[in-house]
Chain A
């Protein structure tokens, strides 16, 4: 694909995992350290991102646009947008967080990590294992040692859901 220019703005194509293409202004993707380096080093016009689902990419582009429009006067509006942005099922939030980490969009990464932490902090051990697809390698005896050592960490209403 050839590099194209409309007016003064450079245009770039991002290709999601399912081959869906997203055409956007180059200035927007500069918020990603990874893409910024790619664009600067070699003059590419199309970047394949096979590890990122299109659904996730749509969300991230939505954020990049909003963030580019951020001014001191619409700070409140942006905060509300951020809150809504992470208000998705946990699996989707994790997909977004992993993609943002890969793309190195620093401000958003911190926000996503905090959002994930807030969502899992009251989860039960079993729920956390399911969410992160982890098999337990502790014996039931070893596990009960933890419970004996710090019973207060296992008390209260723990959330068994994975979303």
Chain B
């Protein structure tokens, strides 16, 4: 069987089968693990319009921990189709965490809802892999009080997953503009501080929800208008490709 035909077939397999078939042979393993194949598999999954899955997060009081299960989106809440998956944090979190965003079945989770913790992970529940990101370079202890927001998405241009962090320092009860911006690239595995011109910016809401449209991360933001003593609400966008 020609290799490009084999790729066509394998890219239509569910993740569980692919994980198993890695041990068919060395060449199958390197094929299945290659970034090109993973990209093609993601593409195929989007094109085929299979029923999407949703992950349910719930807290078990008797077990005192969070449990997760995967459900097929269009099915009713029947229990038998559930697949239970492991928590990405392995009990290192005391509280529930923030879901920053999700993209192609990968979730970006952060433990910053309660206090200034720095656990930030990318989690792929389908293959049960979790990557804890390194600490961003900006030393927050130097800048006093601050607040930060994250964004997570896929940069189509460089075919890379990116996390963006915007840190606002606080002075006399107000957040200062512009924020310090840092970007994590999954393919490089490192954070990069954005220097240079930051256009007119606004403060993102702390209890934010992000939305990624056309490679741009959007948050709801606001700016305090001192003269009129009111707040302007608006949408803040960050283009992952152009940085």
Binding site for B on A (CB under 8 A): 94, 97-98, 101, 109-110, 113-114, 116-118, 120-122, 124-125, 128-129, 132, 134-138, 142-143, 146-147, 150, 152-154, 158
Contacts and interface: CB of A to CB of B under 8 A. Distances in A.
B5 A138 contact: no
Q: For the side of the interface on B, what is the size category?
A: 20 to 34
Scoring B1, B13, B14, B24 by chain A CB atoms within 10 A of each residue's CB, the highest score goes to B24
B25 A152 contact: no
Contact of B8 (A94, A113, A128): A113
A117 B12 contact: yes
Interface in B104-150: 127-128
Contact of A125 (B1, B9, B24, B48): B24
A138 to B, nearest CB: 6
Contacts of A101: 2, 5, 8
Contacts of B128: 150, 152
B208 interface: no
Nearest to B20: A153
Given A138-B26, A146-B22, A150-B19, A94 B1 contact: yes
A118 B48 CA distance: 13
B96 interface: no
A121 B9 CA distance: 10
B158 interface: no
Interface of B: 1-2, 5-6, 8-10, 12-14, 16-17, 19-26, 28-29, 48, 127-128
Contacts of A136: 23-25
A114 B13 CA distance: 8
Nearest to B26: A137
A120 B12 CA distance: 11
B179 to A, nearest CB: 40
A153 B19 contact: yes
Given A125-B20, A136-B25, A137-B26, A113 B12 contact: yes
A18 B2 CA distance: 22
Contacts of B23: 125, 136, 138, 142-143, 146-147
Which applies to chain A's interface (DSSP): helix, strand, loop or mixed? helix
The 9 closest A-B pairs by CB, nearest first: A117-B12, A153-B19, A146-B23, A153-B20, A121-B17, A150-B19, A113-B8, A101-B5, A113-B9
Given A113-B8, A113-B12, A116-B9, A122 B25 contact: no
Contacts of B2: 98, 101
B5 A120 contact: no
A23 to B, nearest CB: 29
Contacts of A129: 24-25
A134 to B, nearest CB: 5
A94 B29 CA distance: 21
B9 A153 contact: no
A117 B21 contact: no
B10 A128 contact: no
A68 B8 CA distance: 25
Contacts of A125: 20-21, 23-24
Scoring A114, A117, A122, A135 by chain B CB atoms within 10 A of each residue's CB, the highest score goes to A117
Given A110-B8, A138-B23, 4 more contacts: A132-B1, A138-B26, A150-B127, A153-B16
B47 to A, nearest CB: 10
Contact of B25 (A109, A118, A137, A153): A137
B12 A152 contact: no
16 contacts: A97-B9, A98-B1, A113-B12, A114-B12, A120-B9, A120-B13, A125-B21, A129-B24, A134-B24, A134-B28, A150-B20, A150-B127, A152-B16, A153-B19, A153-B20, A158-B20
